[in-house]
Structure 1
Amino acid sequence: MWSAIELIVDGYARLKDRQSLEDLRMYRQRLAVDRKARTGFDCRSSIAQVEQDIAAIEGALQTLSGPVGG
Structure 2
Amino acid sequence: MPTSIEAIVSAYVRLKNRQALEHMRELRRQLLKPLQSKSSIDTAQSRDFILEDIRVIEGGLEQLRSPPHG
> Is TM-score (shorter-chain normalized) higher than 0.5?
yes
TM-score w.r.t. the length of structure 1 is 0.84
How many percent identity over aligned positions?
A: 38
Partner of 1:15: 15
Q: CA deviation at 1:39?
A: 3.2
Partner of 1:51: 51
Partner of 1:6: 6
- Could you tell me how far apart the structure 2 residues matched to 1:34 and 1:14 are? 32
Q: CA deviation at 1:34?
A: 1.8
- Could you tell me how far apart the structure 1 residues matched to 2:34 and 2:12 are? 25
How many pairs align?
Answer: 66
1:41 aligns with 2:41: yes
TM-score w.r.t. the length of structure 2 is 0.84
Q: CA deviation at 1:7?
A: 1.1
Structure 2: any 5+ residue segments left out of the alignment? 66-70
- Secondary structure of the residue aligned to 1:64 is helix
RMSD: 1.5
